[in-house]
Amino acid sequence: MSTSNSLRSLNISNISPHVKEAKYAVRGELAVRSEEYRAKLAKGDASLPFDQVISANIGNPQQLDQKPITFFRQVLSLIEYPPLLEKEDVLLNQLGYKKDVIARAKWLLKQVGSVGAYSASAGAVGIKNSIAKFLEQRDGFSADTKDIYLSAGASSGVNTLLHIICASPNTGVLVPIPQYPLYTASLAVLNAKCVPYYLDESKNWGTDLGAIKDAYKKAVAEGIDVRAIVIINPGNPTGASLTEEDIKGVIDFAAQEKLVVMADEVYQTNVFTVKFTSFKAMLRTLQKEDAEKYKNVELVSLHSISKGMVGECGHRGGYFELCGFDPEVVEQIYKFVSISLCAPVVGQCLVEMMVNPPQEGDESYELYKQEWDGIFSGLKKRATALNDAFKQMEGVECGEPQGSMYLFPTITLPPKAVEAAKDEGRAADEFYCSRLLNATGVCVVAGSGFGQKENTYHFRTTFLAPGTEWVGRITKFHKEFMDEFAE
Amino acid sequence: MSTSNSLRSLNISNISPHVKEAKYAVRGELAVRSEEYRAKLAKGDASLPFDQVISANIGNPQQLDQKPITFFRQVLSLIEYPPLLEKEDVLLNQLGYKKDVIARAKWLLKQVGSVGAYSASAGAVGIKNSIAKFLEQRDGFSADTKDIYLSAGASSGVNTLLHIICASPNTGVLVPIPQYPLYTASLAVLNAKCVPYYLDESKNWGTDLGAIKDAYKKAVAEGIDVRAIVIINPGNPTGASLTEEDIKGVIDFAAQEKLVVMADEVYQTNVFTVKFTSFKAMLRTLQKEDAEKYKNVELVSLHSISKGMVGECGHRGGYFELCGFDPEVVEQIYKFVSISLCAPVVGQCLVEMMVNPPQEGDESYELYKQEWDGIFSGLKKRATALNDAFKQMEGVECGEPQGSMYLFPTITLPPKAVEAAKDEGRAADEFYCSRLLNATGVCVVAGSGFGQKENTYHFRTTFLAPGTEWVGRITKFHKEFMDEFAE
């Protein structure tokens, strides 16, 4: 018992054990250290072996190079300071605003009153109407405004749903491994069970229905009450996109075992290789084919303004749509979200513009399209360049970039490095990433932060940073590391 | 077992019992109904006996009449669309922006990069520096940037702290009754124990140290592990402000029993009668007098942009400051907030401007001061007018308005009304508020939503709505209600 224990109300031994258990490496020790390095550099400290920190640990597009979409931000400037709308002439003729910007700002203000006012708990109705329209166009199936909930990014939506689902320490949720650690961290905080199912690295991190079924059976045999399955599509950290057949397989399985499907679809526009298919579209297609079999499938799909070409994560906006939930359960979801009042209203407005951007013929369309396409092709180019660099590195293997904002290469580490890591009390890939940060200022996240099969090592890096200089730094470090720990 | 139970994963009997147990009347049944009435009116439905809904159930200043502060919103317009900064000439000469607005926007952008980017988990460092400076000026004691955490409103800060504190179903937290139901709702969700202590209505809802001690002793005798005490100062729903002696008493008690003091100080600028004293200032004063006795007191104080003359609740911004916490506990708080990434960055910028507004001599000062004072005196006037109306109403008693945004009158209801409520399965004050809404379109919250002594009845109403017409509607309804249920 430390001295502190007897002096204060709270100490490490008596606070919530569930919070303690949660792990969130994306913003863990290395991220904190990278910020210390950044602060040192800003103060002119020349003692570090690099002159710039690259935060490749987190998908934070606008921290790196991605510019906001002009239409979005022009509208936001007007709704933040509505008296500008009285100067239409100045806006149009001297500041380069277009008429559709002004019209959208006026429309949004009509929906929310003031962006400084709380909206209804589940979000402003007019904005939810736009989301419903977007879903109808995207999927070809009807969507209902009352099933839509605005949230502060997708994370807050996940938090809401898991709070409802997790009824006891025995509640289990199937989670892909590797996964974005929000899921395991939230389940730890909620004192519920993560039921891991492994993605198939040999098939470029594809979803393996066999692995899902095995994980489920094993958990049920252990007495776990498995209630839901999480799918991240496109994948984080892997970028892998599910095929239509995979999606159907998951829905079939969920229908059979009565599992809530949580479809994290925040990277739906970050796809390079296959066309994105939403779980909602597939569910409705299946329901048309066999209403009886699929009618009670519970699906929640989540989306966000943080990723894609929007990249407005600092604004904290997102939504989720509920399909097939019991109305009494929906009431509890509503109550739960109402306790935190409402999602940030500016974030809600950005969601509206994301789902209802300028259309061909609108005055802002051309610039919007040009910006959108520029960001998309820039991301693809960077992903390819980074992957090309990995191909040159000894012991590093990485599938072709498929989507999201990340690459997740395997690294084969020399036994001496694994030993050295053990001596430091670290996982071997964490040891590698720590060394990488110290040598290059590039911050990535070790595979152990996302989960991986035993004795395999990975790291996740975003491909958001511009230029190739930082990639060169990684290549150089890697060679030196491999040399240092060679047999 | 309903049919649904066997068909779906989730039903009302198998979801989280803790979420089910939580109550949050501020946005409960009546609030939902009031929104339905508003939608009906918007559609031109003339069947209702009123032509306007007044949402007096929630402190939402800008939904009613309160205008945003010009300086704040001008700065936000620039940081949302930074290319405007290249048109300084247009801003100054045609749009009425001042130089200090432009300077602040540039400075904030330097701190956050882009408002579309995630900040550090606990908030942008430059903004935390401004908060520390504000605290030093307000309290006359030093404040450390590293102790400050930006949050999405104070609610999210409370959620963080309670997650850390609540270690088991046996953890108890002292909560004033009546209270803002965020506290009881969060404790229910976290499956911990609310230990209620009653405020003293006979002393205009003052904090009664004797009641706190009795509540504590009783809880400890029942085996509850009491860890913290919540103080809402100025009070919600009561508006009562603690005297310096009260504050000292609470800190003494916390020091003696080793309790975390959670000081919810979001209404610190909404005070009409006494000068606001912060818990931090009192704690540091006491520590100067007797370092040994007070050195380990753990205090967290919370503030927000939602209330006061700022009233920017839709932007979801706030912060908390930790004093005296164990560093290992602080690490867990940091990890917990990092899981939800960061507070909305625009909200963070508003926090910065709230704590660092234009100063005398700055170009925007005069307008800022005029707007601030206008809102303050408007609120005081409305509070007084509403209270005057209550004085005329039979069976309604209300102390002089002291602060916050609410009045919380006692209503003495005729036995026949209590009976009629019972027949409907409602608390008597809920019955009254439901009738009030149906008759007048004015939505208030029954005292049972905040907690009250048995067989006493109250309601909470904001005094934000402009004009007196809606007050007249209440007076008329009240008379009719009392007549209807007279013996």
The predicted complex's ipTM stands at 0.95
Contact between A81 and B77 using a beta-carbon 8 Å cutoff: yes
* Number of other residues whose CB lies within 10 A of the CB of residue A324: 20
Nearest beta carbon to residue A114 from set B62, B165, B344? B62
A139's tokens:
């999927």
Three-state DSSP state, A170: coil
Q: What is the DSSP string of A116-147?
A: TS---TT--HHHHHHHHHHHHHHHSS---GGG
Cα–Cα distance between A141 and A144 in angstroms, integer? 10
Could you give the dihedral angle defined by the CA atoms of residues A101, A107, A110 and A111, in that order, rounded to the nearest 10 degrees? Answer: -110
d(CA A205, CA A240): 6
CA distances from A201 to A198, A239, A409, A418, B82 (A): 9, 12, 10, 21, 43
The answer on pLDDT for B432 being more than 50 is yes
Q: What is the largest CA-CA distance in chain B?
A: 73
Q: How far is CA A96 from CA A77, A89, A263, A349, B20, in A?
A: 13, 10, 40, 21, 52
Which residue of chain A is at minimal alpha-carbon distance from B157? A340
- Answer yes or no: do A28 and B155 touch at CB < 8 A: no
Three-class DSSP category at B254? helix
Non-local CB neighbours of A487 within 8 Å, separated by 6+ positions: A414, A415, A416
Amino acid A5: pLDDT = 55
Given a cut of 80, whether residue B158 has pLDDT beyond it is yes
**Strands of A148-151's sheet, edge to edge?**
A148-151, A318-323, A299-304, A260-264, A225-232, A171-177, A193-198
Q: Which residue, B122, B130, B194, B196, is CA-closest to B160?
A: B122
Question: E strand or H helix at B396, and its extent?
Answer: strand B396-397
How sure is the predictor about B5, in pLDDT bands with cuts at 50, 70 and 90? low
Please name the residues in contact with A156: beta carbons below 8 A apart, sequence gap of 6 or more: A316, A318, A340, A343, B340
- Set of chain A residues whose Cβ sits within 8 Å of the Cβ of B87: 94-95
Interchain contact, A10 vs B165, CB within 8 Å: yes
Contact indicator for A175, A344 with CB cutoff of 8 Å: no
Radius of gyration in angstroms for the set of CA atoms belonging to chain A, rounded to a whole number: 24
Partner residue facing A118 (CB), from B4, B114, B313: B313
Out of A73, A152, A228, name the one closest to residue B80 (CB).
A73
List chain A residues with CB under 8 Å of B84: 77, 95
CB-closest option in A80, A95, A338 to B80 = A80
Q: Which two tokens stand for residue B207?
A: 């904090």
Q: What are phi and psi of A196, to 5 degrees?
A: -75, 140
Per-residue pLDDT of chain A (487 residues; tens, 9 = 90+): 344 457 899 999 999 999 999 999 888 889 999 999 998 998 999 999 999 999 999 999 999 889 999 999 999 999 999 999 999 999 999 999 999 999 999 999 999 999 999 999 999 999 999 999 999 999 999 999 999 999 999 999 999 999 999 999 999 999 999 999 999 999 999 999 999 999 999 988 999 999 999 999 999 999 999 999 999 999 999 989 999 999 999 999 999 999 999 999 999 999 998 889 999 999 999 999 999 999 999 999 999 999 999 999 999 999 999 999 999 999 999 999 999 899 999 999 999 999 999 999 999 999 999 999 999 999 999 999 999 999 999 999 998 999 899 999 999 999 999 999 999 999 999 999 999 999 999 999 999 999 999 999 999 999 999 888 899 999 999 999 999 999 8
Which strands make up the sheet holding B318-323, listed edge to edge?
B148-151, B318-323, B299-304, B260-264, B225-232, B171-177, B193-198
Cα separations in angstroms, A230 against A185, A301, A446, A458, B227: 14, 10, 22, 22, 36
Measured in angstroms, the CA of B221 and the nearest CA of chain A are apart by 18
Question: End-to-end alpha-carbon separation of chain B, Å?
Answer: 44
pLDDT at B393: 92
**Which tokens sit at A238?**
């892997």
User: In terms of residues, how long is chain B?
Assistant: 487
The 10s digit of each residue's pLDDT in B284-304 is 999 999 999 999 999 999 999
Give the C-alpha separation, B404 to B230, whole Å.
Answer: 17
Cross-chain CB nearest to A345 (options B35, B314, B341):
B314
The answer to whether residue B380 scores a pLDDT higher than 80 is yes
Which residues of chain B are within 8 Å of residue A7 when distances are taken between CB atoms?
Answer: 258, 296
Q: Are B59 and B405 in contact (CB under 8 A)?
A: yes
**Cβ <8 Å between A15 and B167:** yes
**Summary mean pLDDT of chain B:** 95
Q: Distance from B367 to chain A by nearest Cα, in Å?
A: 15
Q: Kindly report the nearest CA distance between residue A476 and chain B, in angstroms.
A: 29
Contact state of A329 with B12 under an 8 Å Cβ cutoff: yes
pLDDT 10s digits, B87-112: 999 999 999 999 999 999 999 999 99
Which residues in chain A touch residue B182, judged by CB atoms under 8 angstroms apart? 339
The alpha-carbon radius of gyration of chain B (Å, integer) is 24
